Amino acid sequence: MLAPMQGLTNWALRKTFIDWVAPDVVWTEFLRVASRPGKPVLPADRKDLQSADPNCPLVVQLIGGDPLVLEAAAKIVQNLGARHVNLNLGCPYGRMTKGKTGGTLLQEPERVLEIVKRLRDVTTGGFSIKMRAGYENQEQVFELLPEWERIGIDFLVIHPRTVVQQYEGKADHGITRRVVEATSLPVIANGDISSGAQGRQILADTGVAGLMLGRWALMDPLLFERVRRPDLVEPTEDERLGILRGLLERVMDDYCTLFCGEVQTLHKLKNIFALNQWPALNPALTSLKKARTLKAFHRAMAGLPTVPEVPPPPAPAEGSRPD
């Protein structure tokens, strides 16, 4: 799965990933659910949903703290064609509101349960939860698992950090394994999956149903292929820069259409590599960061290495056949 990333997983970026590396599932950014039941879903988010690719399942993620407003939002997104709704109980920053949202809702378990029950009741398709291991206590998820089973969610995405940790330290996928062992629900592992080998190791060690790739996949969309194909080695620094160039080139035209004016388009393009996880690449990204016009950005992009070719999968051994 391509993770939901605020300010990033708009329809143009999702389309690029689908066409290039074919995630099995893609997610919206969390929908900015308004505070009033009458119009809880903003026009920009409605438009984004209507750009869903029919060839790749789209999960619509909601974030908010008012049970009635979230219920109204779930009904609206389904009327717009959403087949799967997700509740965000993981974002450590929430939204700029007075009430608790995202991961901070885990401080109020009773309200969380009311929200989850309401959303499950009004969601006719799939319904899931994406959550941290807990607010301050990483054991909190184990207290909630029986409730998720009783309510009947379809799957759980677990990011094995606490909310107060934000993104510090390392995601502890030992917790992920324990969650898998403690529930009959399908579990998706999320957090710090940075290489194909690591992704395959998490699959083997934890027994999860799947992986969710986020920040690391932004700088290496081919991470999806590296998880699927053990024959693909990790890229060199030049190859990483070439892959980033390929991503920027692929989204450029759609970003110019999607966003309003050169300043906003440049800002959104720069957001793609703002989460760069490889410090060694930063010097080469300086010219991109300093570009003040799209023309200058194009020139800086042209200075990056070209996109590396991905070798075809190895031929199956003679006499073998695919599963």
How far is residue 311's CA from residue 299's CA, in Å, rounded to a whole number?
A: 28
How far is residue 273's CA from residue 285's CA, in Å, rounded to a whole number?
A: 8
How far is residue 133's CA from residue 138's CA, in Å, rounded to a whole number?
A: 5
According to DSSP, residue 102 is labeled G
Residue carrying structure tokens 């007075």: 98
What is the pLDDT, as a whole number, of residue 1? 98
pLDDT tier at 55, thresholds 50, 70, 90: confident
Amino acid, single-letter form, for residue 144: L
At 130-177, the pLDDT tens digits run 999 999 999 999 999 999 999 999 999 999 999 999 888 899 999 999
Residue carrying structure tokens 């929430």: 94
**Considering the entire predicted model, what is its pTM?**
0.93
Whether the pLDDT of residue 96 is over 50: the answer is no
According to DSSP, residue 96 is labeled S
Find the Cα–Cα–Cα–Cα dihedral 97, 99, 105, 110, rounded to 10°.
-160
At 245-299, the pLDDT tens digits run 999 999 999 999 999 999 999 999 999 999 898 999 999 999 999 999 999 999 9
**From 110-124, 170-184, 306-320, the region with the lowest mean pLDDT:** 306-320
Whether the pLDDT of residue 225 is over 60: the answer is yes
